[in-house]
């Protein structure tokens, strides 16, 4: 019935291929329009296909496209169920908006068509990731989004920092993929298949909390940690901000980085029977959330604040899926997609209006110059800070409530979450106050301006969702939960505690958030701007020096090992041995040439010597002596 | 005493004397005459063994043609005795002596050995008259005989070529690498 | 006391002696011509054994072999002497010790 | 029946003769004629791929015994294991000829060498007579030696001799083992036979298997090359002309990995089961080690050469893991590596023609001056590090997933090659292509239409095989299955089963691994 779902992937893929070859000929505005139109189209196709899901009548359906690796039983086939439908809608929906935004933002770039080639490629890859019906296809999408991310981060490759950031992102992701891949090996060795249907339907055969399932889930987690920039593989995401801002919004905030959460939610059948792994997931999430929130406070670059904020919010999602609150995790994934995309696009608009300036200390007072951007950012600010009734409040509080409700050590995680919520409110307020309030601190001669319609329109649309999307899953009306029911029906999904507890918890978190905002207000508006300089702030800005730590402990020793392998072990050791053998043979030959005197009579002597010896030997052998 | 014994002793002594004088003589011409003496003696032995045709060939080809060729070349090259003065390859002469003696002892030893161990065969024994030899040569051994034709032809061509090249090379390369 | 008879063994002993003398000549003389003569001597000594043993075994094959050896020796001498002449033309010497370009 | 294979192998010889016959005054015809003639074997190979019966087994078999007493003769055939290596060979030669347009020195000899090389390589892949195999195996050496030694770059003599001596050293073991194998089988067969079909049926003592297994293995390990016998490869690659590098990486190295499957696995099943792990271990060491070494190479061609060593480790690992997926993955990886590394060497050749340097440090910013070039390069690079959707992924993925059950620890270590390959490749890409273009690289011309024409077929195949490898995998599957089944029948080895097999409540959707679908396995 929904066989046509392949079109959702095919359209952006077609766009990517077409624009790759003909983009230059199509030229600037049109190539962007084609790219955007294809994604919009694919959004509407997905919407049509998802209609049964809204009605609650969607039966999960597999669409076989073609056989791929028969020896592993892997096919290229798609799974259309509420979870993938929801992810598809987010990806194509937010993706479409960001495409449209991109036509304005990338205006005048010499490689404008190429930008849309890559964006379309990304959409297609991300859809493969979410629509695939096996771990193998997920892995394919997983790697392909890594490729698009690489291409887009280093889009401005003439800038060495951009090129380096792209490379770093890909390599760090590959470290995660390494774990993922080993996870796949164990899955195949265990189930003899990589398809979701086989694996999940048989997951219950595995011993709960047993070594196999724990190993599988922990290895999958490694993959998720890499893709979703959780500790300890979080280092690539802040650098990824070197890419154009729409890319940061789409890939490094709304969609790709949430793939880890999607993967864990998709593998809920496995994670739900691996309590240890789930605990690890939640712990990683909580620690990352706190860590990134603290680091975000020290950032001066507006995009880096948002990057750390993304890491932090992803931490919440990990906390949720770790607490087996898969619906809550996915819910936060969705609301976060809206408000974080909005924040990034808003930040992009600011940067665009400021002619490329990204340092918040050189902004200020922009709310009058960019009213639309300001208003939409305001919505996003409220949403991420968790102020009701904006979207972020509902999803974040559901996570916190569930974590608290699990009791025991989970309360510690809840506490971390609450602290993070306060920090989030604080650093977001700091961003807003520094950017939009106060006196202008622009460089001389800078004329900030509002962005064109193509950029503000997506902002407005996203603002609507950032404000209202939370309402789909409130304690009053659990639409999303019902929507996702078919996906998690056999799994025990954690729910918020009953009674008044959630309300008290919500009150606490709102209070904390308001406290954060209030403190920021005092610090950045009421008083003269504080001086945030010095070694401590630098240390904070550098993310506690994690990058440098890795550089010293992994990269440099690794390089030293490689160099000693290449220039000592290989060149001198192995090849030295080879050449040594060659040299020894040559020496032997040189020694042998001494016998070659050139004197024919010496040769004669040798010949007769041989003759005598031969006759002697024959005689002795014949028994003469 | 059998006359054949006397003939053998006389010509054996002559052959050995010729051989030794060939080796020892400073002058290559003397050497050539020494060899000539040996060959005559051997021809005599051929006759004593009934190989009349081979004996004739021995005289004609060896004593006649080959030795003449040698003498001719000696004349061409010149009688140079100076370079025989001293031996500069270490141990060459003692080694040669030892090897010669060793060879002699071993050949004799193996000859005795073979003689003792093998039983006498009875062949088609006949005299080496021209008729008999040609029967054999053009019958059983026709193919090898024909093959020698190629050998001789090649040798002739090779000799002519060498003579030719020696002239052309001389004009292009006069260097002495020694 | 038995009658003294010349047997093939005598010839073989003589041939061995001649062969050894030829070998010594080949190794000690450095005049290429004399070395060639030594080789001829050695060939002749072998021919002698062929003929003598052929008689003993009552076969003509020894003689046939001798004929072939003579033919080959003749060819060899022709070419060999031509080489000596060619060398002499270039080097003005017939001493093989001077010809050592092929040393390693 | 028309002798397709004799025709296939004979075509390059005829082409070489035709090249010789072109008069000196018309030497401008050399390249076009050579290119045209090189398309003929490709057409034959295409026909073979098209009409190949997926049921497997040897097809187009020709058998003419030449020496009855020793049973040596012209016995050839193609099965699913060799089919695509033949096709790859036939495919890479026209491309190599096109890539040689800049060769002006002794072009005629160069083209003749190429064609003789093609004959040799094709012969290796189709020979079913061990002596014939050895002859072809050796024929390959000679033109390659000349290609490196005459048309190579500065240090060519050293590289050519190193290449030759190294491989000849291995060949000595190969020859000795082949003879020992035939003699050893003599009493059972009542005759000495060098026919692969005869020998494959002869049971052998484990001692004999061990010796012969290692005899063959040394020859093939040098050819592959496996760590630590790999040091000839970087030198040979660096010094060889572009076409030489392409063919060396593309097909010559595959003679080793092919030999492992065709001879070691089939003829010595017991030794394979017993000692395969050691070769797998060496292969995995090679994967990691070569990847590390590649990281810091200052010369881009050396870097790719080391990456070859690393990638070929996967093939050998898969081969000795003895599961359907791993062996098949190794097999398709041979084809894929030929395409992607071949493309990389072609690209490096193109940039070398422009800059006359191979030093990574001398490049920089090429992406802005040569966008098409960098696009192709990126494609080849990602194909080589196994990006899904491109061909390199298929083999690597199948090998890794399939090998886990046999060698879990080794496979985990091998999988780290996935990370390392990303590091060396992307770091090199960064240094060569990104950043502002240096002064020397500012005015480089992008690829011309000839160069694009060379690369497009490879690029198409890279993508096609990555997206839809089924036609290839289908043609391989039964014969790979047969190889593994043979091992299962003659030893106590059994294909690993899944932990939950028999307890699964939902069908796994994998072809039954225990038996070969067509019953081809046994005689």
Instruction: Report in angstroms the alpha-carbon separations of A250 from A119, A316, A343, A351, D349.
Output: 9, 19, 11, 17, 38
**A276-285, A613-622, D440-449, D473-482: least confidently modelled range:** D440-449
Cβ–Cβ below 8 Å for B169 and C90: yes
Best CA proximity match to D333, nearest among D406, D384, D402, D405: D384
Q: Is residue A259 within 8 Å of residue A227, measured between CB atoms?
A: yes
> Considering its fold, how many domains does chain C have in total?
1
Residues of B in contact with A612 (CB under 8 A): 99, 102-103, 106
DSSP state at residue A71: G
Q: Is residue A443 within 8 Å of residue A355, measured between CB atoms?
A: no
- Using the Cβ of A595 and the Cβ atoms of chain C, whether some distance falls under 8 Å is answered with yes
pLDDT at C57 over 90: no
**CATH of segment(s) B1-79:** 1.20.120.1200
List the 109-138 stretch of B: residues with Cβ below 8 A of C: 111-112, 115, 120-126, 128, 132-133, 136-137
pLDDT tens-digit map of D1-60: 788 899 999 999 999 999 888 888 888 888 888 899 999 999 999 999 999 888 888 889
Structure tokens at D518: 């067509």
Residues of A in contact with C23 (CB under 8 A): 608
Best CA proximity match to A99, nearest among A552, A457, A479, A366: A457
pLDDT tens-digit map of A477-532: 777 877 887 777 777 777 777 777 878 888 888 888 899 888 888 888 887 777 77
Three state DSSP letters for chain B: CCHHHHHHHHHHHHHHHHHHHHHHCCCHHHHHHHHHHHHHHHHHHHHHCCCHHHHHHHHHHHHHHHHHHHHHHHHHHCCCCHHHCCCCCCCHHHHHHHHHHHHHHHHHHHHHHHHHHCCCCCCCCCCCCHHHHHHHHHCCCHHHHHHHHHHHHHHHHHHHHHHHHHHHHHHHCCCCCC
Distance from CA of B50 to the nearest CA of A (A): 30
**Chains within contact range of chain B (3+ C-beta pairs < 8 Å):** A, C
From A595, A597, A605, residue closest to C100, measured CB to CB: A597
User: Which helix (H) or strand (E) element contains residue D72?
Assistant: strand D72-78
pTM of the model: 0.83
Per-residue model confidence as pLDDT tens for chain D (523 residues): 788 899 999 999 999 999 888 888 888 888 888 899 999 999 999 999 999 888 888 889 888 888 888 888 899 999 989 999 999 999 999 999 988 888 878 888 899 999 999 999 999 999 999 999 999 999 999 999 999 988 888 888 888 988 998 888 899 999 999 999 888 888 888 888 888 888 888 888 888 889 999 999 999 999 988 888 888 898 899 888 988 999 998 899 999 999 999 998 888 888 888 898 899 999 999 999 999 889 888 889 999 999 999 999 999 999 999 888 899 999 999 999 999 999 999 999 988 888 888 888 888 888 888 888 888 999 999 998 888 888 889 989 999 988 988 888 999 999 988 888 988 988 888 888 888 887 777 778 888 888 898 899 999 999 999 888 888 888 888 899 888 888 888 888 888 877 776 666 655 454 444 444 443 333 3
Q: Average pLDDT for residues A75-102, to the nearest whole number?
A: 88
Cβ–Cβ below 8 Å for B110 and A599: no
pLDDT tens-digit map of D105-155: 888 889 999 999 999 999 999 999 999 999 999 999 999 999 998 888 888
Residue A66 has phi, psi (to 5 degrees) of -160, 160
pLDDT at A624 over 70: no
Higher pLDDT, B112 or B171: B112
Cβ–Cβ below 8 Å for A599 and C97: yes
pLDDT tens-digit map of A197-219: 888 888 877 778 788 889 899 99
DSSP state at residue A57: -
Three state DSSP letters for A458-482: HHHHHHHHHHHHHHHEECCEEHHHH
The pLDDT of residue C104 is 64
From D231, D388, D499, residue closest to A139, measured CB to CB: D388
pLDDT tens-digit map of B21-44: 998 888 888 899 999 999 999 999
Residue C37, in any domain of the structure? yes
Q: Which of A590, A591, A602, A604 to mutate to test the interface with C (most CBs of C within 10 A)?
A: A604
pLDDT tens-digit map of D209-250: 899 999 999 999 999 888 888 888 988 998 889 889 999 988
Higher pLDDT, A408 or C48: C48
Instruction: Report in angstroms the alpha-carbon separations of A305 from A310, A336, A455, A529.
Output: 9, 15, 21, 18
Q: Average pLDDT for residues A261-275, to the nearest whole number?
A: 88
Torsion sign, CA atoms D228, D234, D239, D245:
positive
Report the interhelical angle of C32-56 vs B67-77 (nearest 10°): 170
The pLDDT of residue A75 is 85
Question: What per-residue string of b and e applies to B79-114 under the rule 16 or more CB within 10 Å gives b?
Answer: ebeeebeeeebeebeebbeebbebbbebbbbbbebe
Distance from CA of C46 to the nearest CA of A (A): 15
Torsion sign, CA atoms C13, C16, C18, C24:
negative
The pLDDT of residue D281 is 93
**Which CATH number characterizes residue C79's domain?**
1.10.287.3510
Structure tokens at D16: 């070489």
Who's near A619: CB < 8 A, 6+ residues apart?
A: A625, B106, B109, B110, B113
**Chains within contact range of chain D (3+ C-beta pairs < 8 Å):** A
Cα(B62)–Cα(C72) distance, rounded to whole angstroms?
12
Cα(A150)–Cα(A166) distance, rounded to whole angstroms?
5
Q: Which residue has the tokens 């082409």?
A: D15
Cα(A371)–Cα(D326) distance, rounded to whole angstroms?
61
Residue C88, in any domain of the structure? yes
Residue C74, in any domain of the structure? yes
Structure tokens at D334: 């041979």
Distance from CA of D210 to the nearest CA of A (A): 26
Q: Is residue D126 within 8 Å of residue D77, measured between CB atoms?
A: yes
Cα(D374)–Cα(D365) distance, rounded to whole angstroms?
10
- Using the Cβ of D14 and the Cβ atoms of chain A, whether some distance falls under 8 Å is answered with no
Best CA proximity match to B104, nearest among C38, C35, A612: A612
Q: Average pLDDT for residues A70-94, to the nearest whole number?
A: 87
Cβ–Cβ below 8 Å for A601 and B89: yes
DSSP state at residue C31: B
Cβ–Cβ below 8 Å for D510 and A192: yes
B94: nearest CA partner in chain A? A605
User: Which helix (H) or strand (E) element contains residue C69?
Assistant: helix C61-91
Residues of A in contact with C35 (CB under 8 A): 601
The pLDDT of residue D124 is 93
Cα(D179)–Cα(D72) distance, rounded to whole angstroms?
11
The pLDDT of residue D366 is 84
Q: How many helices (DSSP H) and strands (DSSP E) are in chain A?
A: 26, 4
pLDDT tens-digit map of A11-53: 888 988 888 888 888 887 888 888 889 999 999 998 888 888 7
From A592, A593, A608, residue closest to C27, measured CB to CB: A608
DSSP string, A507-553: HHHHHHHHHHHHHHHIIIIISPPP---SHHHHHHHTTTTHHHHHIII
pLDDT at A439 over 90: no
Structure tokens at A4: 């046509």
**Chains within contact range of chain C (3+ C-beta pairs < 8 Å):** A, B
For the CA atoms of chain C, what is the radius of gyration? 18
* Cβ–Cβ pairs < 8 A, chains A and B: 33
Dihedral angle over CA of B19, B25, B29, B35, nearest 10: 0
Best CA proximity match to A89, nearest among A349, A475, A459, A469: A469
Residue C104, in any domain of the structure? no
* Banded pLDDT at B15 (limits 50, 70, 90): very high
pLDDT at A373 over 80: yes
Cβ–Cβ below 8 Å for A592 and C30: no
| Cα distance from N-terminal residue to C-terminal residue, chain A | 102
From A160, A181, A567, residue closest to D418, measured CB to CB: A181
The pLDDT of residue D521 is 37
Cα(A506)–Cα(A404) distance, rounded to whole angstroms?
11
Q: Is residue D346 within 8 Å of residue D453, measured between CB atoms?
A: no
Question: What per-residue string of b and e applies to A63-77 under the rule 16 or more CB within 10 Å gives b?
Answer: beeebbbbbbbbbbb
User: In a 10 Å sphere around its CB, with 0-12 CB exposed, 13-18 middle and 19+ buried, how is residue B176 labelled?
Assistant: exposed
- Using the Cβ of A571 and the Cβ atoms of chain B, whether some distance falls under 8 Å is answered with no
Q: Give the percent of chain A with pLDDT over 90.
A: 7
Domain extent listing, chain B = 1-79, 137-178
The pLDDT of residue B82 is 55
The pLDDT of residue B177 is 42
Cβ–Cβ below 8 Å for D500 and A205: yes
Higher pLDDT, C47 or B50: C47
DSSP string, D223-265: HTTPTTS-THHHHHHHHS-HHHHHHIIIIIHHHHHHHIIIIII
Residue D229 has phi, psi (to 5 degrees) of -100, 25
Q: Do the chains B and D touch each other, judged by at least 3 C-beta pairs below 8 angstroms?
A: no
pLDDT tens-digit map of B45-84: 998 888 888 999 899 888 888 888 888 888 888 776 555 5
- Cis check: omega of the bond before C51, within 30 degrees of 0: no
Best CA proximity match to D417, nearest among D300, D302, D314: D314
Q: Average pLDDT for residues A159-167, to the nearest whole number?
A: 88
Residue C68, in any domain of the structure? yes
**Chains within contact range of chain A (3+ C-beta pairs < 8 Å):** B, C, D
DSSP string, D19-48: HHHS-GGGGGGHHHHHHHHHHHHHHHHHHH
Cα(D120)–Cα(D138) distance, rounded to whole angstroms?
8
Residue C1, in any domain of the structure? no
Best CA proximity match to B90, nearest among A611, C20, C97: C97
Residues of A in contact with B99 (CB under 8 A): 605, 608-609, 612
DSSP string, D410-463: HHHHHHHHHHHHHHHHHHHHHHHHSSSPPSTTTT-----HHHHHHHHHHHHHHH
Q: Is residue D126 within 8 Å of residue D76, measured between CB atoms?
A: yes
Q: Which residue has the tokens 């292509």?
A: D433
């Amino acid at each position: 019935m929904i066989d046509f779902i392949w079109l959702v992937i095919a359209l952006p893929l077609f766009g990517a291929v077409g624009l790759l070859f003909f983009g230059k000929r199509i030229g600037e505005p049109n190539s962007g329009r084609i790219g955007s139109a294809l994604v919009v189209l694919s959004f509407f196709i997905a919407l049509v296909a998802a209609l049964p899901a809204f009605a609650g009548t969607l039966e999960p359906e597999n669409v076989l496209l073609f056989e791929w690796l028969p020896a592993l039983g892997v096919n290229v086939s798609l799974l259309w169920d509420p979870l993938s439908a929801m992810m598809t809608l987010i990806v194509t929906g937010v993706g479409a908006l960001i495409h449209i935004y991109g036509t304005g933002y990338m205006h005048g770039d010499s490689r404008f068509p190429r930008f849309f080639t890559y964006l379309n490629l990304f959409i297609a890859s991300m859809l493969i990731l979410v629509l695939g019906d096996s771990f193998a296809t997920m892995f394919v999408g997983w790697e392909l989004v890594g490729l698009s991310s690489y291409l887009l981060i280093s889009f401005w490759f003439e800038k060495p920092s951009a090129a380096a950031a792209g490379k770093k992102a890909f390599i760090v992701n590959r470290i995660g993929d390494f774990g993922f891949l080993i996870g796949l090996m164990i899955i195949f060795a265990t189930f003899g298949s990589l398809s979701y249907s086989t694996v999940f339907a048989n997951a219950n055969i595995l011993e709960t909390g047993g070594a196999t399932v724990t190993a599988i889930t922990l290895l999958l987690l490694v993959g998720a940690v890499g893709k979703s920039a959780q500790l300890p593989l979080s280092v690539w995401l802040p650098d990824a901000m070197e890419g154009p801002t729409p890319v940061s919004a789409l890939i490094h905030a709304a969609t790709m980085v949430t793939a880890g959460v999607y993967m864990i939610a998709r593998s809920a059948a496995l994670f739900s029977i691996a309590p240890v792994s789930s605990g690890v997931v939640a712990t990683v999430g909580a620690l990352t959330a706190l860590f990134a929130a603290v680091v975000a406070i020290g950032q001066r670059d507006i995009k880096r604040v948002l990057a750390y904020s993304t890491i932090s919010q992803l931490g919440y999602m990990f906390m949720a899926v770790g607490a087996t609150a898969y619906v809550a995790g996915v819910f936060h994934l969705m609301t976060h997609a809206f408000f974080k995309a909005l924040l990034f696009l808003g930040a992009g608009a600011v940067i665009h209006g400021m002619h490329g300036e990204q340092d918040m200390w050189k902004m200020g007072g922009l709310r009058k110059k960019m009213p639309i951007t300001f208003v939409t950012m305001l919505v996003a600010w409220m949403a991420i800070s968790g102020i009701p009734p904006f979207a972020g409040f509902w999803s974040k509080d559901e996570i916190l409530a569930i974590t608290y409700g699990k009791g025991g050590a989970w309360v510690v995680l809840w506490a971390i979450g609450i602290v993070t919520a306060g920090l989030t409110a604080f650093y977001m307020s700091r961003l807003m106050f520094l950017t939009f309030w106060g006196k202008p601190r622009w460089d001389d001669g800078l004329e900030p301006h509002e962005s064109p319609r193509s950029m503000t329109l997506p902002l407005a649309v996203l603002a609507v969702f950032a404000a209202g999307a939370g309402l789909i899953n409130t304690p009053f009306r659990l639409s999303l939960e019902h929507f996702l029911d078919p996906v998690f029906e056999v799994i025990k999904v954690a729910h918020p505690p009953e009674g008044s507890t959630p309300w008290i918890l919500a009150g606490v978190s709102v209070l904390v958030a308001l406290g954060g905002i209030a403190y920021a207000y005092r610090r950045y508006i009421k008083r003269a701007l504080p001086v945030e300089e010095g070694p401590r702030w630098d240390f904070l800005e550098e993310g506690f020096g994690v990058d440098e730590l890795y550089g010293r402990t992994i990269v440099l020793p690794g390089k030293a090992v490689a160099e000693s392998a290449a220039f000592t072990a290989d060149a001198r050791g192995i090849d030295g041995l080879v050449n040594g053998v060659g040299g020894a043979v040559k020496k032997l030959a040189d020694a042998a040439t001494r016998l070659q005197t050139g004197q024919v009579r010496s040769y004669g002597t040798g010949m007769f010597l041989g003759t005598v010896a031969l006759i002697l030997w024959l005689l002795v052998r014949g028994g003469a002596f | 005493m059998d006359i054949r014994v006397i003939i053998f002793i006389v010509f054996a002594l002559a052959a050995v004397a010729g051989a030794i004088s060939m080796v020892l003589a400073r002058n290559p011409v003397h050497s050539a005459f020494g060899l000539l003496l040996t060959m005559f003696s051997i021809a005599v032995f051929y006759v004593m063994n009934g190989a009349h045709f081979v004996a004739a060939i021995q005289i004609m080809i060896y004593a006649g043609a080959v030795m003449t060729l040698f003498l001719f070349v000696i004349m061409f090259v010149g009688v140079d005795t100076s370079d025989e003065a001293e031996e500069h390859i270490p141990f060459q002469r003692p080694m040669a002596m030892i090897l010669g003696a060793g060879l002699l002892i071993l050949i004799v030893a193996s000859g005795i050995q073979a003689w003792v161990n093998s039983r006498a065969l009875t062949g088609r024994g006949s005299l080496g008259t021209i008729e008999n030899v040609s029967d054999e040569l053009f019958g059983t051994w026709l193919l090898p005989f024909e093959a020698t034709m190629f050998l001789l032809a090649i040798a002739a061509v090779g000799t002519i070529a060498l003579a030719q090249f020696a002239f052309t090379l001389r004009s292009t390369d006069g260097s002495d690498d020694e | 006391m038995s009658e003294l008879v010349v047997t093939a063994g005598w010839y073989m002993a003589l041939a061995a002696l001649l062969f050894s003398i030829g070998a010594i000549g080949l190794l000690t003389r450095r005049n290429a011509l004399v070395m060639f003569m030594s080789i001829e001597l050695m060939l002749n000594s072998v021919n002698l054994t062929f003929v003598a043993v052929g008689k003993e075994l009552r076969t003509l094959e020894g003689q046939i072999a001798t004929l072939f050896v003579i033919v080959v020796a003749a060819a060899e001498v022709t070419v060999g002497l031509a080489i000596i002449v060619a060398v002499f033309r270039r080097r003005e010497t017939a001493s093989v010790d001077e010809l050592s370009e092929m040393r390693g | 029946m028309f002798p397709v294979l004799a025709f296939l192998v004979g075509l390059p010889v005829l082409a070489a003769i035709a090249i010789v016959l072109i008069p000196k005054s018309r030497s401008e015809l050399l390249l076009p004629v050579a290119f045209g003639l090189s398309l003929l074997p490709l057409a034959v190979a295409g026909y073979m791929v098209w009409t190949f019966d997926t049921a497997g087994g040897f097809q187009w078999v020709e058998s003419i015994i030449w020496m009855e007493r020793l049973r040596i003769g012209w016995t050839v055939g193609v099965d699913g294991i060799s089919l695509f290596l033949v096709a790859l060979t036939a495919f890479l030669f026209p491309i190599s000829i096109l890539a040689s347009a800049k060769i002006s020195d002794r072009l005629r000899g160069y083209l003749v060498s190429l064609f003789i090389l093609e004959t040799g390589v094709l012969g290796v892949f189709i020979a079913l007579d061990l002596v014939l195999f050895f002859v072809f195996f050796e024929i390959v050496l000679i033109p390659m030696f000349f290609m490196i030694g005459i048309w190579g770059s500065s240090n060519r003599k050293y590289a050519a001799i190193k290449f030759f001596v190294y491989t000849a050293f291995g060949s000595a073991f190969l020859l000795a083992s082949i003879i020992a194998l035939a003699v050893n089988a003599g009493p059972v067969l009542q005759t000495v036979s060098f026919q692969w079909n005869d020998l494959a049926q002869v049971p052998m003592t484990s001692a004999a298997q061990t010796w012969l297994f290692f005899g063959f293995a040394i020859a093939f390990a040098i050819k592959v090359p496996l760590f630590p016998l790999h040091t000839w490869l970087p030198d040979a690659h660096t010094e060889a002309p572009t076409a030489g590098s392409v063919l060396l990486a593309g097909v010559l190295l595959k003679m080793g990995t092919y030999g492992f499957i065709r001879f070691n696995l089939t003829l010595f099943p017991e030794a394979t089961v017993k000692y395969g792990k050691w070769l797998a271990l060496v292969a995995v060491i090679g994967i990691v080690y070569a990847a590390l070494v590649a990281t810091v190479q200052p010369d881009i061609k050396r870097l790719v050469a080391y990456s070859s060593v690393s990638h070929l480790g996967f093939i050998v690992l898969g081969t000795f893991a003895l599961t359907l997926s791993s062996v098949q993955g190794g097999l398709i990886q041979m084809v894929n590596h030929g395409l992607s590394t071949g493309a990389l060497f072609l690209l490096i050749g193109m940039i070398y023609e422009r800059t006359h340097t191979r030093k990574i440090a001398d490049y920089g910013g090429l992406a802005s001056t040569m966008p098409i070039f960098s696009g192709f390069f990126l494609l080849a690079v990602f194909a080589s590090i196994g990006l899904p959707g491109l061909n390199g992924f298929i083999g690597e993925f199948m090998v890794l997933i399939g090998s886990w059950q046999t060698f879990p620890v080794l496979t985990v270590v091998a999988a780290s090659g996935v990370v390392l390959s990303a590091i060396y490749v992307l770091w090199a890409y960064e240094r060569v292509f990104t950043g502002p273009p240096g002064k020397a690289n500012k005015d480089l011309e992008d690829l011309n239409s000839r160069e694009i024409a060379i690369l497009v077929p490879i690029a198409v195949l890279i993508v096609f095989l990555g997206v839809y490898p089924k036609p290839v995998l289908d043609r391989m599957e039964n014969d790979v299955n047969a190889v593994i089944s043979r091992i299962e029948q003659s030893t106590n080895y059994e294909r690993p089963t899944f932990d939950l097999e028999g307890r699964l409540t939902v069908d796994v959707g994998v072809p039954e691994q225990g038996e070969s679908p067509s019953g081809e396995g046994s005689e």
